[in-house]
Amino acid sequence: MNLFVNLQDLDSMLFYWINTGTSNALFDAIMPLFRDKWFWAPLYLFIGTFAWSNFGKKGWIIVLGLVAAVGFADFSSSSLVKKNVQRLRPCNDPVMVDSVRLRVSCGSGFSFTSSHAANHFAAALYLIGLFGGMSRWVRPLALSWATAIAFSQVYVGVHYPGDVLAGGMLGALIGWWMSRIAGRLLGASFTNRVD
């Protein structure tokens, strides 16, 4: 129990540092955008277009695998973990709420695990698993994108760092697993091309 309390204290301290200690006008402007699915719509459109234009009919497998990875990560985080753990968001926690710099709507759902982090790390690891061997920029770009989205959840005041860390790990496992399945469906010619 003492370890749990210490971890929660550490999580709260890290939350305060990110939520208030790193406050600046640039982050105040861009971090709420990072949470918005429509902000990333051009990226999603690019991924779909890239898959279809470069891999023909196999592009459907790539896109459907990505949708499945994100969907399974979202279901696992939202419907399995959150509903069983039931950790309050910092912006809904009576102990924390007065100290939180809330930059978006808090929402009424639970906090652990962060579904934004789970979903985007699932997408990132899925793309790395399929395309990481194609170009060396895929790995750092995908991980930086998912990390920025996870960081934004803490910065805007709706998640603890532990929420996004656990969500990111959950999503990463699901994304990597789905990339292996998609790789098998795509066949040896595809995997040899990108590895």
Q: What are the sequence ranges of the domains in the chain?
A: 2-194
Judged against a pLDDT cut of 60, whether residue 30 lies above it is answered with yes
Judged against a pLDDT cut of 50, whether residue 28 lies above it is answered with yes
Judged against a pLDDT cut of 90, whether residue 176 lies above it is answered with yes
Judged against a pLDDT cut of 70, whether residue 54 lies above it is answered with yes
Could you tell me which of 189, 164, 177, 23 has the C-alpha nearest to residue 81?
164
Judged against a pLDDT cut of 60, whether residue 192 lies above it is answered with no
pTM: 0.90
Judged against a pLDDT cut of 60, whether residue 87 lies above it is answered with yes
Quote the percentage of the chain above a pLDDT of 70: 93
Per CATH, which fold does 2-194 belong to? Answer: Vanadium-containing Chloroperoxidase; domain 2 (1.10.606)
When mean pLDDT is compared over 53-57, 126-130, 170-174, the highest value belongs to 170-174
Provide the token pair at 180: 């292996």
